[in-house]
Amino acid sequence: MTTRLADDVYWINECYAHGDRHEHVSAYLIRGEAGTVLVDSGSFYHREAIREAVVDATDGEGIDAIVLSHSDYPHSGNVSEFRDEWDDVELVASSGSPEIQGLSDARRCRIGGSLSIRGRQFSFIDPPLADRSHTTWIYDHESAVLFTADGFGSYHHPTDCDRTSTAFEDGISTESILEFHRENLVWLRYVDADKLASALDSIVESYDVSYVAPIHGHPIHRDDLDGFLDRLIESARTIADEYRVPEPYEQPSR
């Protein structure tokens, strides 16, 4: 399903089932006057559904650029196929070793810098929440949407696949935020939650955010952001507090 978040920003929502809960594996489409930009290409598992959503949203014109948050397959799984389908698709990525990642002809964005892509200004932010190096969060200055890759994720019930944060009367639950981050960002068990909160607050204060747009969670409207951040930091604190370092393993005597 495709949902409009801003005048020209669309959430292409795809999901994957984990037992009785679902995980979003989404992409985002920006339709600007000078071209159409796809933020992350989605998983190969959802290739046809994403392709159809792009065709419908662009009246068959397709995309002009792909901007990758990072090169994991749920984010980059359709780069080659989409570039084959639509001619002259520019690829923008932040990989430190683009050849190894299969991105040798990508235009490199530098974390902490900015670029103009198809007439729009994007800033590339060092993310406090990431599952690998060279991940970047992407801020579109025109729409004020902040694309956060693996950050700000959550699981959801099968009936909630198409909902943004505005559809939850009591907000996205702490449980769904906690479970997602516990299972996918396991290094949070070693993190100082206060430092994480300061880093996230600094980003929110530096950018006028209309929506936070995660790949693996519900888009979060600015009015719901403070509540989500409180639950996220609570979750990070729980993950760190509940972790116990294993006792050293004793080798059996010979």
Return the CATH number at 25: 3.60.15.10
Pairing of strands 107-108, 90-93: parallel
The percent helix, strand, coil of the chain (3-state, each to 5) is 30, 25, 45
Name 136's Cβ contacts closer than 8 Å, sequence gap at least 6: 69, 70, 94, 109, 111, 124, 125, 126, 127, 149
Say if 154 falls within a structural domain. Answer: yes
Number of helices (H), then strands (E), in the chain:
6, 16
Say if 106 falls within a structural domain. Answer: yes
Pairing of strands 211-213, 145-147: parallel
Domain interval for residue 41: 2-158+207-221
Say if 30 falls within a structural domain. Answer: yes
The model's pLDDT over 69-92, given as tens digits with 9 standing for 90+, comes to 877 677 787 888 999 899 889 999
Q: What is the pLDDT of residue 1?
A: 80
Say if 153 falls within a structural domain. Answer: yes
Q: What is the pLDDT of residue 93?
A: 87
Per-residue pLDDT of the chain (254 residues; tens, 9 = 90+): 899 999 899 999 989 898 899 999 999 999 988 999 999 998 888 899 999 999 999 999 999 999 998 776 777 878 889 998 998 899 998 866 666 556 667 788 888 999 999 999 999 999 999 877 789 999 999 999 999 999 999 999 999 999 999 999 999 999 999 999 999 999 999 999 999 999 999 999 999 999 999 999 999 999 999 999 999 999 999 999 999 988 887 777 76
Q: What is the pLDDT of residue 21?
A: 93
How many angstroms separate the CA atoms of 156 and 203, rounded? 26
Pairing of strands 21-24, 155-156: antiparallel
Say if 177 falls within a structural domain. Answer: no
Q: What is the pLDDT of residue 100?
A: 56
Q: What is the pLDDT of residue 211?
A: 98
- Could you tell me the sign of the dihedral formed by the alpha carbons of 221, 225, 227, 232, in that order? positive
Count of the separate structural domains present in the chain: 1
- What's the chain's length in residues? 254
How many angstroms separate the CA atoms of 45 and 12, rounded? 14
Beta strand ranges found along the chain (DSSP E): 2-6, 9-12, 15-18, 21-24, 27-32, 35-39, 65-67, 90-93, 107-108, 114-117, 120-125, 137-140, 145-147, 155-156, 211-213, 220-221
- Could you tell me the sign of the dihedral formed by the alpha carbons of 50, 56, 58, 64, in that order? positive
Say if 182 falls within a structural domain. Answer: no
Say if 17 falls within a structural domain. Answer: yes
Say if 115 falls within a structural domain. Answer: yes
